[in-house]
Amino acid sequence: MTHARTAGSSEWTFNQVEILRMKRISWTVVAVISLLATAATAENWPAWRGAGGIGVSKETQLPTRFSASENITWKAPLPAAGNSTPIIWDQRVFVTSATDGGKVRSLVCFDRGNGKKLWQHDVPYPQQETAHSDNPFCSGSPTTDGRLVYASFDSAGVVACDFSGQVVWQRDLGKLTHVFGPATTPVLYKHLLIIHRGPGDPTHIVALDKKTGKTVWDTAEKGINDKLYGSWSTPVIYRVGDHDEFALSMPGQLKGFDPLTGKELWKCDGLGPSNYPDTAVGDGVLIGVSGFQKSMMAVRMGGRGDITSERLWHVEMTQQRVGSGVVHDGYLYVSNAPGIAECIDVKTGQSVWKERLGGTLWGSMLLVGDRLYVSNTQGEIFILDASPQYRLIARNAMEEHIKASLAPSDGQLFIRTYKNLYCVGARRK
List the domain boundaries for the chain: 1-41, 42-424
Class of domain 42-424: mainly beta
- The sheet carrying 340-345 orders its strands as 326-328, 331-336, 340-345, 351-356
The Cβ-side half-sphere exposure at 260, using a 13 Å CA radius, reads: 3
What's the 3-state SS for 103-125? CEEEEEEEECCCCCEEEEEEEEC
pLDDT at 353: 97
List helix spans (H) across 276-376.
Answer: none
Distance CA 68, CA 48 (A): 22
**Which stretch of DSSP H or E encloses residue 85?**
none
Strand locations in 263-350 (E): 264-269, 274-275, 280-282, 285-289, 296-300, 305-306, 313-315, 326-328, 331-336, 340-345
How does pLDDT run along the chain (429 residues), one tens digit per residue? 433 333 333 333 434 434 334 444 333 333 333 333 333 345 899 999 999 999 999 998 899 999 999 999 999 999 988 889 999 999 999 999 998 888 999 999 999 999 999 999 999 998 877 777 777 777 889 999 999 999 999 888 999 999 999 999 999 998 888 877 777 899 999 999 999 998 877 889 999 999 999 999 999 886 555 677 888 899 999 999 999 999 999 999 999 999 999 999 999 999 988 888 999 999 999 999 988 778 899 999 999 999 999 999 999 877 778 899 999 999 999 999 999 999 999 999 999 999 999 999 988 999 999 999 999 999 999 999 999 999 999 999 999 999 999 999 999 999 999 999 999 999 976
Return the CA Rg of the chain: 24
d(CA 383, CA 361): 13
CA dihedral defined by 186, 191, 211, 45, rounded to 10 degrees?
50
Q: Give the other-Cβ count within 10 Å of 403's Cβ.
A: 24
Beta pairing, strands 56-57 & 274-275:
unpaired
What is the model's pLDDT at position 389? 97
Q: How confident is the model at residue 395, as a pLDDT?
A: 97
169: part of which helix (H) or strand (E)? strand 167-171
Amino acid 331: pLDDT: 98
Single-letter amino acid code for the residue at 60: T
Torsion of CA 354, 357, 362, 366, to 10 degrees: -80
